[in-house]
Structure 1
Amino acid sequence: MTDEASKRRLRICLVGPAYPYRGGISHYNTVLAQKLSCSHDVYSINFKRLYPDFLFPGRTQYDESGEALSVPSERLIDSVNPISWVRAGFHIASLGCDVVIFQWWHPFFAPAYFKISAILRVFSKAKIIFLCHNVIPHEHSLIDRVFLSLAFTLPHGFLVQSREDEENLRRLRKGAVVSFHPHPIYDFFNRGEVTQSEARERIGAGRDEIILLFFGYIRPYKGLKVLLRAMPRIREKIDARLFVVGEFYEDRAPYVELIDELGIGNYVELVDRYVPNEEVEPFFVASDLVVLPYLSATQSGIVQVAMAFDKPVVVTDVGGLPDVVADGKTGFVVPAGDDTALADAVTRFFEEGWGERMARCFPEEKTRFLWEHLISDLERLIERIR
């Protein structure tokens, strides 16, 4: 905690998804609430409807984990009901908070956030911060730009998690007060409950196999097809098996067709589902190398899950990924969309014995991504805008 902020215990309201909603933003918001509560009074305002069902590409929006990550929250906001925005705005104003922090990740929520922020600007003395996961969505349209311009007019400050997002934000909002801090580590999945041999038995992998892991939901920008095209070249040199673990948010058929066309069906396992919290650990413990061949990105929570398990990652040179993965220390960075470079990085990792060298780098590298550092940066940002 900064010296100035430590003089006063702040009343902070977090606005964003939390349990019972699933996914990275919900997890992030929950852990942030837990960490902030150590030194401040925290209120969590949740959604009572996040997405209308017809807009959500997955099977369910809700966390069905046996061991859900949760904090107490009030479910007030319906993303498509303006009346709920007004009610939520006045309720938040009545809390008498010093700061209201909105989780920002998609312009779909711009009208709701704008209305709530407008009410706070008039009926509250609270400062407004947008904590940005993606300033601009991976797949965006002209209307998204309009919504972005609308929503970003009212916050007093912004916290971004990649330099690319900082540049995008400064173009959208001239003179904005912006703080940068990389995505913190997701260590809550790492419970130390399984050995690698036990983890491999659980996921159906051989004890002596080389296991590559692609983790997270599948959309075009994730670049999974690049990894699939790299697999034949990888297997020319190493006997690797790829686990693709995550729900398809698009048509699965083209991926299956590509796997058949490349003749790699015996070496690729598709685990097409959202993985509950208690099942995340075995997949990461069982793997030797995590491969995230994104075609576009700002930052990635999956990288920070891998970091928590001391698992090296091959990523692409997009967004903030090169800022988080230290090339030659915690992984390799390759050009986006280049299946040959991706294959060569994977084979190099195993042929040159990089696993042991990288393992020695994780203890120091992980200190860059502690939640306590994020909290300190948030507190400094609050002091700047007060």
Structure 2
Amino acid sequence: MSYNNLGLYDYSLLSNIKNVSVSYFCNLLYDQKKLPNKTYRLYTYSNKKGIFKIISYFISQLQLIFFCVKNPPAIIHFQWLKIPSMDYYVLKVLRRFSNHLILTAHNLLPHNSGDTYYKSYAKIYHSVNTIIVHAEKTKQELIEKFGITPNKIVVIPHGVLDLSSEIDHTAVSAKVTEIRQQLKLKDKVVFSVLGGLNEYKGINLIVDAWKDKTLSENKNIQLLIAGAGSVEKVLELATIDNVHIENRYLTDMEFLTYLRVSDFVLLPYKSISQSGVLLSALSEHKRVIVTDVGGLKDPFKFGKIGYVLKEYSINELKLAILKASETVKEYPKETIWNKIEMFYNWSTIGSKTQNLYSSINENPVN
């Protein structure tokens, strides 16, 4: 069902799975490179509104069922589910036509939903044969919160999201220079908040921390907020001199430009399983300030690439930002970044996924 960054995830995974016959069912808006797999642009809900979006999604799921009736697959692997109350019954039907259902739980529950969908996802997690998660911490949460047996869960990392391969680097470099001059960033330490502006990403915490005079009146640092989101809280920083806000959707080129301008990326998430912004930051060797949720802390096992907050608090974030500004010249060694790249390498991730498929085919009953 993927497009934009989600499409990039699917492309990166599928292009690294070898010797497996895969049919790929994607969104009409899928815009990555052509894959060698049989590709069906089945999902058209993205350009619909209201009830028509739901109807379109329902029709697409019916088409998927009909395809599996005619061509029973050994494995059906879902990356995303859009309407869990409906999809639970879709999965029940599909189990009749496939030996094995896999679901990648990119997040255990939808963002900003609380426990609204808990019952639906509990039924879904118990109905599939295998669940892929991206971090050991997420595996433990799945066991504790949903009562899933450990042998049903497989940990396969989310790969680094490299946005730079299809982008004009000369144009990006020119834009980086322009922004640095425009915002007068020379000799300043730049902290950024990039991508969707959502409460679960800790945007309220960032705003409240930056309102403290030790940050808002600090002429040696700059906060850059760039991304789409209707978070009114951000407007509280609109008149502060060392804050620049671009509250709109960013193209891949703009995202990469703002990322390259940054010294540290702020990721004080309330809850997450894995963050695409983190993985994009790692691909550009950018340091991060994170909370200890989901897989955000995982890259720190290879070396110090920023700071992990001891607790989710204004004071803890403020102290981390100040410490980062003081240690900005203590850049991680290249060997640390090399180890991170190996861990989040798509070739390795593709092999792990391929091995999972093979083991299921060899032992079809789970």
TM-score past 0.5 threshold: yes
State the alpha-carbon separation in 1 of the partners of residues 116 and 205 from structure 2. 30
Matched-pair contact (CA < 8 Å) for 1:136–1:168: no
SS at match of 2:83: helix
State the alpha-carbon separation in 2 of the partners of residues 301 and 342 from structure 1. 21
Distance 1:205 1:247, change over 3 A: same
Distance 1:289 1:187, change over 3 A: same
Residue in structure 2 matched with residue 193 of structure 1 by the alignment:
169
Distance 1:155 1:240, change over 3 A: same
Determine which of 145, 150, 154 is the counterpart of 2:127. 154
Q: CA deviation at 1:93?
A: 4.3
Residue in structure 1 matched with residue 118 of structure 2 by the alignment:
145
Residue in structure 2 matched with residue 30 of structure 1 by the alignment:
11
State the alpha-carbon separation in 2 of the partners of residues 318 and 114 from structure 1. 27
Distance 1:35 1:99, change over 3 A: same
- Which residues in structure 2 correspond to 1:243-262 (within 5 Å)? 243-248=224-229, 250=230, 252-256=231-235, 258-259=236-237
Residue in structure 2 matched with residue 9 of structure 1 by the alignment:
none
Matched-pair contact (CA < 8 Å) for 1:312–1:358: no
Determine which of 187, 193, 200 is the counterpart of 1:221. 200
Deviation per residue, 1:24-51 (Å, 9 max, x gap): 4333123222222x44333221246xxx
The letter for the 1-side match of 2:2 is: A
SS at match of 1:340: helix
Matched-pair contact (CA < 8 Å) for 1:194–1:282: no
Q: CA deviation at 1:240?
A: 1.2
Residue in structure 2 matched with residue 74 of structure 1 by the alignment:
40
State the alpha-carbon separation in 2 of the partners of residues 196 and 121 from structure 1. 47
Matched-pair contact (CA < 8 Å) for 2:84–2:120: yes
Residue in structure 2 matched with residue 51 of structure 1 by the alignment:
none
Matched-pair contact (CA < 8 Å) for 2:134–2:274: yes
Q: What fraction of aligned residue pairs are identical, expressed as a percent?
A: 21
Residue in structure 2 matched with residue 98 of structure 1 by the alignment:
74
- Which residues in structure 2 correspond to 1:6-45 (within 5 Å)? 17-19=1-3, 22=4, 24-36=5-17, 38-45=18-25
SS at match of 1:290: strand
- Structure 1: unaligned runs, 5 residues or longer: 1-16, 49-61
State the alpha-carbon separation in 2 of the partners of residues 35 and 349 from structure 1. 36
State the alpha-carbon separation in 2 of the partners of residues 359 and 230 from structure 1. 31
Matched-pair contact (CA < 8 Å) for 2:16–2:351: no
Distance 1:112 1:43, change over 3 A: farther
SS at match of 1:317: coil
Distance 1:354 1:339, change over 3 A: farther
The letter for the 2-side match of 1:122 is: R
Residue in structure 1 matched with residue 258 of structure 2 by the alignment:
283
Residue in structure 2 matched with residue 118 of structure 1 by the alignment:
92
State the alpha-carbon separation in 2 of the partners of residues 34 and 95 from structure 1. 23
State the alpha-carbon separation in 1 of the partners of residues 169 and 155 from structure 2. 34
Q: In angstroms, what is the RMSD of aligned CA positions?
A: 2.9
State the alpha-carbon separation in 2 of the partners of residues 274 and 353 from structure 1. 29
Matched-pair contact (CA < 8 Å) for 2:159–2:279: yes
Residue in structure 1 matched with residue 49 of structure 2 by the alignment:
none
Matched-pair contact (CA < 8 Å) for 1:182–1:324: no
Q: CA deviation at 1:144?
A: 0.7
Matched-pair contact (CA < 8 Å) for 2:104–2:133: yes
Matched-pair contact (CA < 8 Å) for 2:26–2:42: yes
Matched-pair contact (CA < 8 Å) for 1:310–1:359: no
Distance 1:84 1:193, change over 3 A: closer
Residue in structure 2 matched with residue 206 of structure 1 by the alignment:
184
Q: CA deviation at 1:122?
A: 1.4
Residue in structure 1 matched with residue 305 of structure 2 by the alignment:
330
State the alpha-carbon separation in 1 of the partners of residues 199 and 174 from structure 2. 33
Q: CA deviation at 1:359?
A: 5.1
User: What TM-score do you get using the length of structure 1 for normalisation?
Assistant: 0.77
Residue in structure 1 matched with residue 159 of structure 2 by the alignment:
184
